[in-house]
Amino acid sequence: MSSSGQSVVLLGPQRQPILEEVVQSLDLDGPFATITAGWQEREPDDDELDALLDGQSVNLNLYARWHDVLDRDPEYAVADRHQREVLDELQELYLLRLDYALDAVVMLQQRRGSADLRAAAVAEAVEAVRELDAAHLLRIGEVNGEFYERWPPHDRPVIAQHRAAVGRLLEGVTALVVAGGHVGVLVASMHLFNVAAALDAPVIAWSAGAMALAEQVVLFHDRAVQGPGNPEVYGHGLSLLHGVVPLPHAAARLLLGDVGRMAVFAQRFAPARCVLLDAGSRVDVDLDGDVPVGTRVLDLGGAVSVVSES
Amino acid sequence: MSTALGAPVSVRRLAIERLRERRPLDDAGVDRFLARHDVPIVEGQRCTFLHRGEAEAVTLVHRTVGLPGHLPLARIDSTDLWYVVVELPEGSRFEYQLEVKIDGRHDRFNDPMNHRRAHSPMGSMSVCYARGYVVPEWTQAHPEARPGELLELAVPSRALRRDTHVTLYLPARFRRSARYPLLVVHDGQDYLHYAAMKTVLDNLIHRLDVAEVVVALVDPGDRLVEYANSAAHARYLAAELIPYLEQRYPLQGTRTGRCLMGSSFGAVAALSTAYRYPELASALILQSGSFVFTDIGNDHGGGPAFEPVVRFVNRYRAGPRRVADRIFSSCGIYEPLIIPNRSMLHTFESTGMLVRYVEARDGHSWENWRDRLQEALSWVYPGAQKLFYE
């Protein structure tokens, strides 16, 4: 659920789209605002998306607006670039620590001997990872806070102009539709143009779009060319969605059969639920923030399970 | 034949064995046999190499460590067909030539029955793909991969006392407003010509395996001098070329945004430059480094060209030093340099550097180095794949 009360529908990847039927099931007849900033240069290539929304969509063009800001406000552009470099370095430092912290978990999991003692040690090692994740998120928040204090977006005329335009476009829409792509670009542009604050409508999102709505963005790719990467906290999402870590393309990107690895994943982010969003998935998050019965999640034991009546 | 548990297993006879047993076996039979098979004939781990023609002797010549240097081919009675069966483990790439002795004269050439060739500055070799070896698809041009651009630069160098030629790769969608990491590649033209470097970069960047990167492809004057632990070469990179590029192109300009790369002597050049300028680059890619050393005495077997290399590697091994944060190191297990490269791992790791080491069933060849580029580049400069969820 949203902090301001929007309902959220999370979908699996839309290569074989179910968006049209979802919109019909919600009795939404438009107009719709769309965000395709995650597609970056391909942001305007939204004909297919518009067709699924019965030609009733207006693209917020956040990627183009972002570049317009960088072009027309060079002082801010330099500061923004520097800020990204700082965040990149912060992420590298975190990943270095995370490697060792997660290695410790794995080594303990694989150790022979007393099961009880080992389980306790594993639990403490996972707790250390949780503390590291939390500390990293906090530090990102501080660094971003300092940046926005030094460069208040509302004081930058170009940003303010775009924020106002985005606000006007969001007025009266029956839903906001957020597509996937580059999750970093999506989150940054949605933050910059204050989408969450201007929104008063249900949200339908998939893939990176779903991830961007959560409280924290968690990156994962167990099948990367350089080998399984450690799931990592990337930063704050829009917090339109609480208690959920969306995992798009879960079957393709995660080693779901590696129960030990998946258990650590789920335990790191508990009590938030790690929700699997594969092709055909639909998860209507209700106003209390609960996911519906039948939702596929990673349980704390690392298995894929289905939410049942409690 | 039986297994360890004693259960009999059948071993399918090789095609060449079946041919040998055929009676009568005449030229037409050999013609039909050759028409039915790709040569070399790969059957499981056994590869049959063939030659056809009158000769006093035929030999398979190669540089694969572990196999006898010259493998004689046997002639099949009543024919002019020669053969030898070599066991090549799964995933192997094997480069070879044939040597034929006629009237006491030895002629060496590529296998006319095998169209596969591996190229290098030294010429070409025939190549056999053992079972399980596949040319990585990302080494072939992909129609959807946007091509980067190659710029030719002339960079004057006081350190080297010559004008250097540098080929600069700019990724597709290059923007002046962005800031790119830099990769400096020794033997740049060879990487372009023999390791498909541009195609590989275009593909890996397109697939988001590798970050958008600017690549400076440099080439030596006298390679055996400039790449063999040369102070002048190191000064050229650290004080001339990299500052030159960072002034003119939108590069990150920080240690973490720089990587030095090379193969063979080029790897020595990368390592020795980092040794002299440890603040220059945070990462090194060292492929089949010529890290020849001696533990005692001077008999390193590399010849005079290796003298400065051996002195450098001996000094480095005696007093290992952190020269970067991360090293990607790879080597073919069929090349003589496998032992020195394995030996260097502990030396590198003892300094606290993070090392990723990869071996391949391959030799000291450009295709080996090409095939490792995905692992190397994606480790040093990972692409945004982890950020993309379409």
Q: Count other C-beta atoms under 10 Å from residue B222's C-beta.
A: 10
CA distance B176 to chain A (A): 11
| A87 interaction partners in chain B (CB closer than 8 Å) | none
CA distance A220 to chain B (A): 6
Return mean pLDDT, chain A: 95
What pLDDT, on the 0 to 100 scale, is given for residue A5?
53
Count up the domains in chain A and report the number.
1
For residue B326, give Cα distances in angstroms to B258, B352, B353, B354, B379: 11, 9, 5, 5, 9
Q: 2.60.110.10, 3.20.190.10, 3.40.830.10, 2.60.40.10: which CATH number matches B15-129?
A: 2.60.40.10
Question: What is the tens place of the pLDDT at every residue in B180-214?
Answer: 999 999 999 999 999 999 999 999 999 999 999 99
Alpha-carbon distance A272 to A242, whole Å? 8
* B1 has pLDDT over 50: no
Find where tokens 């029956």 sit. Answer: A174
Pick from B256, B387, B389: CB nearest A248: B389
Task: Tell me whether residue A1 is in a domain.
Answer: no
Q: Please indicate whether, in this complex, the C-beta atoms of B389 and A184 are within 8 angstroms of each other.
A: no
What average pLDDT does this structure show over A73-87?
A: 95
* B158 has pLDDT over 70: yes
What pLDDT, on the 0 to 100 scale, is given for residue A307?
95
Q: Which residue of B has its CA nearest to A185?
A: B387
Q: What percent of chain B has pLDDT over 70?
A: 97
Q: What is the ipTM of this complex?
A: 0.95
Question: What is the tens place of the pLDDT at every residue in B253-312?
Answer: 999 999 999 999 999 999 999 999 999 999 999 999 999 999 988 888 888 899 999 999
User: Range of A117's domain?
Assistant: 8-306
Q: Count other C-beta atoms under 10 Å from residue B66's C-beta.
A: 7
* A159 has pLDDT over 90: yes
* A6 has pLDDT over 90: no
**CATH architecture entry for B137-387:** 3-Layer(aba) Sandwich (3.40)
Residue ranges of domains in chain B = 15-129, 137-387
Task: Tell me whether residue A223 is in a domain.
Answer: yes
A139 in reach of chain B (CB within 8 A)? no
What pLDDT, on the 0 to 100 scale, is given for residue A152?
97
Question: What is the tens place of the pLDDT at every residue in B328-374?
Answer: 999 999 999 999 999 999 999 999 999 999 999 999 999 999 999 99
Question: What is the tens place of the pLDDT at every residue in A208-227?
Answer: 999 999 999 999 999 988 88
